[in-house]
Structures are given as C-alpha cells and as structure tokens.
Chain A
Amino acid sequence: MHTDTRRTNWWATAFVAVCALTVLVPIYLAVVVALKTPDQLAGSGFELPTQVRWENFAEAWERASFPRALTNTLLITVGALVLTLLTNSMVSWAIARNLHRRFFKGVYFYLLAALFVPFPIIMLPLVKETAILGLDNQVGLIVLYTVFGLSLNVFVYTAYIRSIPVELEEAARVDGASTWRVFWQVIFPLLAPMNATVGILTCVWAWNDFILPLVVLSDPAARTIPLAQYIFQGQFNTDYTVAFASYLMAMAPLLLVYVVAQRWVISGVVRGSVK
C-alpha cells in the first residue's frame, strides 16, 4: 500500500465532519423522538428526552403488526437472497462460458436491455398477471426479485467469471465431472466475492423495497415492513413518538448489519458497480 506522506488536511476534515453531521441528523431525530413521552414533543423534537418511554416500542410493535411484517420481510429477503445466489450465478456462468454462441449472446443482451426498461411500464400488467397466477403473495415477491435481479446480476457475475481461467474447469472435466458438478464444485465456491456483492444488493433491495410489495401483495397478512409502515401511517396520526419507535425498529436490522459489517458491505457494493 502507498504510504500517505501528505500532511493532514484540516479544511477537508472540517468539511467532511459537517457533511457527516447532516447525514446523522435524521437518524438522531428518529432516535430521540422515539424515546420521548408525547408531552415532550412541544419543541422542535431535537431536544434530548428528559424521561425515556420504552413503551413506545412495545406499542409500535403491537399497532403496526410488527411481528407479522418482520416475518414477511425476513422470509422474502432470505428467500430472494438464496434463490438469487443459486440461480443467477449459474445462469451467468452458462452465459459467460458460451458468449461466442449466438443463443447465449442473445440472452445476455436480452437481459441487459431490460435494465433500460423502467418499472412503471410493467407495473400495471404485472399486477394482473401475478393475481391470475396466484403469485400476489410472499412467494410471488421472492420469484420477482430473483427474476428481475437477473439483468444486473448477470452483468456483474459475467464480468467476474470471465476473469476465472477456464483451465480450472477443464481439469475437473478431465477427471470426469459433469457440467453441473463443475459449476457447483469448482466455480460456485470461486464466486464468493461476487456472491457477497450480489447478496448485499439483493438484501438491501428486497428489505427496503416499497413499490413492488405495494402493487403486488393483495392479502394484508402478507405485508412487508415498509408496506406496513405506509398503511399504519394514517393510524399513528399525531402519535409521533410511537410512529418513530416503529421507524426505528424498521431501520434497525439492516442498520445493525451495516454497522457490524461496514467495510465488507462498502467494498461489496463498489465491486459490483466498478467492474
């Protein structure tokens, strides 16, 4: 690594510190409001709580049907994650190793072209279709995240797979391994860095997505966290402390994962965008 011989730039440090504070302001606000009693809300909301009211969380847990929403979001995110990693990597490998064949090249550009198709055009017909197929539920969302993810993921995986020497696969083939075995035993483990990248992107997307659950899900029992927050927004009305407790609980899981695995998450996302 290049050792930095420059002197500390205090102007840049100050600038960065001020901007970082701006990033933290809404999160600070969410925390302090969630901890207050309603009568402490007379001010701007930024004041520290004089008396902490933990019941806000218990109340939000009940009123926003949190256990249900959390289960749904977890189920959908984990389902989409596992299915995406297993299938999208395999599709990408088959494409990457056969790009000189017309069929695979066609598939590659077909999937890639979809990146330019904005969601509003498929939104209305898709809802009819998922309803007809009985996929207006959690399973449907898992399928949709996996299928829609293909466009970007194939692009990301393919670039990486082409840097893996084919000789590795050929050695396994000489030993008599089938094409399927070559993938699962030789290639899939080698894809670990890209699996991490695709995994992070899929998790963040599936966990936070609002519009797809909003239009696809028909049964209230299938609601995800963002959708539940949207529906119960009207109910909270002026009960800001309870509402904020529920926002905090909705943001907490991914935020905790991020704080723990911060470097790993950032490098994963960078790897996916700067190929």
Chain B
Amino acid sequence: MTTTTHAPVPPAAVATPASRRSARSRLRRPYYWMVLPAVVLFALFHTLPVLVGVFFSFTDYAGYGAWDFVGVRNYVSLFGDDRVLGAYGFSFGFALVATVLTNVISLAIALALNSRIVARNTFRGIFFMPYVLAILIVGYVFQYLFSNSLPKLLPNVPVIGENILSNPDWAWVAIVVLAVWQASAFAIIIYLAGLQTIPPELYEAASLDGASPWRQFTRITFPLISAFFTINMVLSLKNFLQVFDHVVALTNGGPGTSTESITLLIYRGGFTGGEFAYQTANAVIFVIVITVVSLLQLRFLQRREADF
C-alpha cells in the first residue's frame, strides 16, 4: 500500500505514463525533504562525534594543542590502569545490584497494586512521582539523609550510624538506594501495564483448579509478563551502567575513587585531566561493552520468554 496510488489525476484525463510518473515523484519528493534535514543534523551531532571520538582514540590528543598518532597505545594502557578497572568494577557491581533490586521491588509493588487494594490510583500516583524529579536534586536530599539524618536516628547501627557516604566499602550501597528509589517509578508502571494485559479469567480458572498463589505467579503471571520483564531488565542495566548524576550528587566519586563510575571518569579525565584521547578510547571500549552486554541479555531473556 502506498500513498501514491491515488494521484490527483482526474480519471477522465488521458494520462501518459511519463506525466503520471512525474506526478508521482512530485508527490513523493516532499517525503525526502521531511527526512533529509533530520538525517543531516543527526549525522552532524551524533554520528560525527562518534567517528571523531574513534579517530582521536588512536592519538595522544590532550584536548588542546598538538597531537600525534599513537596506534593502539591508549587501548593497551586502559587494561593496565587501576583507576579504569576500578571504575568498571564499581559500575558493574552497582548496575547489577541496582538492576536486580529495582526489578524485584518494582514487580512486587506492581503485583500488590494490581490486586484489589484501597486507594490504588493514589498509590500509583505516588510511586510514579520520582520519575518527574531530577536525580541530581533528589540526590542532594538523599545526601543529607545519609550524612546527617540517619547517623542521628540510628547512631548504633554499624555503617549507617557514621555516615555511610564516607565509608569507602559501603558508599556504593547508598548510591544503589537512590538509584532504586528513582528507577522503580518507571519499572512499576511498566510492570503494572503488563499485569493489566492478563485476562482475570485465567486466575479464576487456576484457583478453581486449586493452584496456590505462588504457582499462579510462576505459571501464569510471570510467563505472561516476561516481555515486560525483558524491557525493564535491559533498560535498567544499560542505564545503571552509565550512572552519573547519582554519583555526582552523593559522593562525587569518593571516598577516594571508590565510587567513581565509568561515565564520571570519562568526564573528569576528558575535560579536566588532559586525557581527551585516552578517555575517548575508554568510551569506545565502554560502548562495545554496553552493546555486547545488552545484546547478550536480550538474547538470553528472549530465549527464556520463548521457553514458556
């Protein structure tokens, strides 16, 4: 089906093939004009920076001044750089824990919201609220919570009692709390939308057959929302791996560099550390890592979906 089948040629007129073709292309041409500027701008602001980045990753450009080609030296150095490895360690550990927690908590809340409860719409409204708030600003409130409120409220609890944010071993947990608090808003709504696609008759039939709630969940609910599970898992992991605002607001990468994420490292090294080329090489590796992780995750989860 195309839009050109009804060219505005009066049926009575004798249209030659040539004139019909030009009428058609005249109708089609605007489509190209609608798309072309967008493609050019997208290439200019998105694709070109990617290519420039890849290009400079093979140089020793500091972000200013002269530069030379250095081959794959940046890439080789990356693998022996403790700060880079530390950033990967933090980002992956954080992203993994935050993804699992976000999805478990969100799914539990969505299930509860989907059962018959009082004031459901009010609760749904509250849960979605963090979605419209800036992470950086909420992060500053959380920072006060962790550094001032909790030590005063729970002075005898080991780590929390003495400002978790200044503890190099546990500060990452505070970042997870903020991330889960914020990301659950979106995940809950997606799970709820998924749960609402399940016909209630299925549950009626299952409870007539005497299936326990847990069995109903594993045999009916979860298989039927597995596509929503896949979306949420892939999106959360990808977003959490790039964590930035959370870290800036809570710890600014500290204490030391214990909570420095990859994005924060690229930002710092690239803009203020004179490591433009080196950090673009880091970013190239990061892109590859994220793409591979997302694709593997998608494949694995979709195969599981198909098993049901």
Binding site for B on A (CB under 8 A): 2, 4, 6-9, 12-13, 15-17, 19-20, 22-27, 29-30, 33, 41, 43-46, 87-88, 90-91, 93-95, 97-98, 100, 103-104, 107, 110-111, 114, 116-129, 143-144, 147-148, 150, 166, 169-170, 173-176, 178-180, 183, 204, 207-208, 210-211, 214-215, 225-226, 229-230, 233, 240, 243-244, 247, 250-251, 254-255, 257-259, 262-263, 265-266, 269-270, 273-274
Interface members, chain B 19-56 (any A CB < 8 Å): 27-32, 34-35, 38-39, 41-42, 44-50, 52-53, 56
The answer to whether B2 has its CB under 8 Å from any CB of chain A is: yes
Chain A residue with minimal CB distance to B279? A124
B35, A107: Cβ atoms closer than 8 Å: yes
Asked if A91 and B123 sit within 8 Å, CB to CB, the answer is no
Residue pair A250, B38 in contact (C-beta under 8 Å): no
Stretch of B72-80, B95-103, B156-164, B282-290 with 4 or more beta carbons under 8 angstroms from chain A: B282-290
Once the chains bind, are A114 and B136 in contact (CB under 8 Å)?
no
> Does B12 lie at the interface of the complex (its beta carbon under 8 Å from any beta carbon of A)?
no
Chain B residues whose C-beta falls within 8 Å of the C-beta of A169 in the assembled complex? 3
Contact of B117 among A8, A183, A258 (CB under 8 A): A8
Chain B residues within CB distance 8 Å of chain A: 1-3, 5-8, 27-32, 34-35, 38-39, 41-42, 44-50, 52-53, 56, 63, 105, 108-109, 111-113, 115-118, 121, 123-138, 140-142, 144-145, 148-150, 152-153, 181, 186, 189-190, 193-194, 200, 228, 231, 238, 241-242, 244-245, 248, 262-263, 266-267, 270-271, 276, 279-280, 283-284, 286-287, 290-291, 294
- Which 10 pairs of residues, A with B, have the shortest CB-CB distance? A208-B134, A179-B30, A122-B49, A94-B34, A125-B49, A125-B52, A12-B112, A121-B283, A44-B152, A13-B117
Report the nearest A residue to B142, measured CB to CB.
Answer: A26
Q: Are A123 and B148 in contact (CB under 8 A)?
A: no
CB of B191 to closest CB in A, whole Å? 10
- B291: A residues at CB distance < 8 A: 116
Q: Main secondary structure on chain A at its contact with chain B? A: helix
Smallest beta-carbon distance B27→chain A, Å? 6
B190 touching A229, Cβ below 8 Å? no
